[in-house]
Structure 1
Amino acid sequence: MFSDVLLAHLERYPQMQLEDCVKLAHQSVFGPGHLLKDEKKALKFLTDEMASCKPNDDPLYLPIGNGLCRVSLPACKARGITADMLFPLFAHAAKTVEGDKRDLMQAIREIRDLIDRDMLPYDPGMADYFFIQYEDKRYPLMHHSDTYKRLYAPAYRVVWQKQLKAFLKTLR
């Protein structure tokens, strides 16, 4: 269930805002396809982003549901995984994830349910307003909140977790 994934992320990133929860749901359902309109540009963007991040000892990846995970670019860099090595995994996920709006709507229902049960730190009235606007805009992809960007400096790519694990075995 998406709610389990969300609660695990909230434990790691306690200052997640509602839009960060929705971004996670959207990525869980639709994957990274929006980032791969031009493969050459996408590879250059990944290469530049990896060059600018500092290596760290964060977990290499965090599951986001539906067999997908977010791979940490700083953790990749710390382990010697280059943009050229990671890009095929990202490109494959971008081309093969087939999300469905109904699945996104189910994830949103789970978010709302967690809010109603006081398991997420968001005001129910404000959340209702947020989701009405989100629905009116036809469920667009969200960006990370300014708070999330400032506190957690997100730098990752979404890939298939099973494919990542197979790739990691080749590095041993």
Structure 2
Amino acid sequence: MKEFIEQQLALYPESREQDVLKAVYQSVFGCGHFVYDEAKCKAMLEKELRENNYTSKTAVEDLGRYSRVYLSKLKESGISSSTLLKLFILSAKEEDKKDEYIEAVKLLPEICKDVFDKREFERIISTHIEEGCPSLHHSELFREKYHPCYRVILSEYADIIPLLCEIEKREECIVAIDGKAASGKSTLGKLLSQIYSADLIHMDDYFLPPERKTKERLSEAGGNVDYERFACELLVPLVNEGRYISRPYRCHGGYYEQPKEKKRSKITVIEGSYSLHPELYRHYDIKIFIDLDPRMQSERIKKRDPEMYERFISEWIPLENRYFEETNIEKRCDIKLISKKNYRMEVIKNEK
């Protein structure tokens, strides 16, 4: 907390008490409420984009769990206003974190005692808590000095703005997300489908049925996925004809679902281990690999699926690792993401 407040005061030395409170509020609650009227939010965003003439020093300001995305840098960042609006709406939620917030703000008078009158700050905080911790405005001085014009979104969303820029360079695209178990492939796939109303296809629906899991087949790198069926029924028709057959295989029940013909959407997202298999690789427009520290991977799997943990460790992860080593997709992909604590991501573009 002390380091965060010191950073805020260094960035904004003309801050008043309410500006520091607002930064802490946003770091805990984000924008602090659900978005009930998307049209109104869109109109407000467009108005601010038209009227804002001040250029901020930074595009994204990290507040911890949330980040401020500055509108003056939006065009420069490469994402559209509609994408920022969607990220803002997806980030907006009402969470019961008041106790965490109150505990944090009570530390502020001591942290800021060399900047603000300690007793006065204590009084301001006491009144704020008594009023139920409502959302706050920036001070008049702060607005005059720094012209704040931004939207607050989850930092895990702000992290992937460079990836979203790559997607938005294209009218249509097929995105593939491969990577280590528990690295966040499904989470990223779901997010992209929400942002862009994209079709989301799971490689888990194309694993081999038991009768095809021969010793010879499983000796192949990536041989435990039915890449032939995936290419024949789905990927090649999707690319060449703008339509495809969806026929997921349900491992637990040992059956195929009834086939459904679907039309291609502007953006299609294919997520899951082996999605960048050498037999499929060339068909994608954007190829993503997500890396993950082995210790964090183990912790996530144990928490997410404790009953299957031993099988992950002894069977599935060794198969995945051999596939990654033999295909070298980490180096061949367009974008590498490194999954970190709290599902934050570091984005690295591969230079080919």
Q: TM-score, normalised by structure 2?
A: 0.44
CA 1:127–1:144 in 2, change beyond 3 Å: closer, same or farther? Answer: same
Listed one character per residue, the Cα deviations across residues 18-68 of structure 1 (whole Å, up to 9, x for unaligned) are: 001111111111111437231110111111111212373621111112x21
Letter in 2 for 1:7: E
Which one of the candidate residues 78, 88, 98 is aligned to 2:76?
Answer: 78
Give ranges in structure 2 of 5+ residues lacking alignment.
Answer: 167-352
CA 1:84–1:35 in 2, change beyond 3 Å: closer, same or farther? Answer: same
Q: For the residues of structure 2 that align with 1:155 and 1:145, how far apart are their CA atoms?
A: 13
Deviation at 1:141, TM superposition (A): 1.2
Which one of the candidate residues 66, 69, 78 is aligned to 2:67?
Answer: 69
Superposition pairs for residues 47-66 of structure 1, below 5 Å?
A: 47-54=46-53, 56=55, 58-65=57-64
Q: Aligned residue for 1:124? A: 118
Which one of the candidate residues 105, 108, 123 is aligned to 1:108?
Answer: 105
Q: For the residues of structure 1 that align with 2:134 and 2:24, how far apart are their CA atoms?
A: 11
| Structure of greater Rg | 2
Structure with the higher helix share, 1 or 2:
1
Q: For the residues of structure 2 that align with 1:23 and 1:58, how far apart are their CA atoms?
A: 19
Q: For the residues of structure 2 that align with 1:166 and 1:28, how far apart are their CA atoms?
A: 19
Conservation of the 8 A alpha-carbon contact between 2:59 and 2:73: yes
Conservation of the 8 A alpha-carbon contact between 1:55 and 1:77: no
Deviation at 1:108, TM superposition (A): 0.4
Listed one character per residue, the Cα deviations across residues 127-149 of structure 1 (whole Å, up to 9, x for unaligned) are: 12212222221221111000001
Conservation of the 8 A alpha-carbon contact between 2:110 and 2:118: no
Conservation of the 8 A alpha-carbon contact between 1:50 and 1:77: no
Q: For the residues of structure 1 that align with 2:77 and 2:125, how far apart are their CA atoms?
A: 39
Worse-matched range after superposition: 6-15 or 104-113: 104-113
Listed one character per residue, the Cα deviations across residues 65-90 of structure 1 (whole Å, up to 9, x for unaligned) are: 2x210111101133343321211111
% identical equivalent positions: 26
CA 1:61–1:132 in 2, change beyond 3 Å: closer, same or farther? Answer: same
Deviation at 1:11, TM superposition (A): 0.5
CA 1:57–1:26 in 2, change beyond 3 Å: closer, same or farther? Answer: closer
Worse-matched range after superposition: 134-143 or 147-156: 134-143
Please give the secondary structure, in 2, of the residue aligned with 1:171.
helix
Q: Aligned residue for 1:22? A: 21
Q: For the residues of structure 1 that align with 2:37 and 2:122, how far apart are their CA atoms?
A: 36
1:169 and 2:169 matched: no
Q: For the residues of structure 2 that align with 1:34 and 1:62, how far apart are their CA atoms?
A: 20
Q: TM-score, normalised by structure 1?
A: 0.87
CA 1:77–1:99 in 2, change beyond 3 Å: closer, same or farther? Answer: farther
Which one of the candidate residues 91, 94, 98 is aligned to 2:92?
Answer: 94
Conservation of the 8 A alpha-carbon contact between 1:29 and 1:99: no
Conservation of the 8 A alpha-carbon contact between 1:73 and 1:155: yes
Q: Aligned residue for 2:281? A: none
Give ranges in structure 1 of 5+ residues lacking alignment.
Answer: none
Conservation of the 8 A alpha-carbon contact between 1:35 and 1:42: no
For the aligned residue pairs, the C-alpha RMSD in angstroms reads 1.9
Conservation of the 8 A alpha-carbon contact between 1:57 and 1:75: yes
CA 1:77–1:53 in 2, change beyond 3 Å: closer, same or farther? Answer: farther
Q: For the residues of structure 2 that align with 1:84 and 1:144, how far apart are their CA atoms?
A: 25
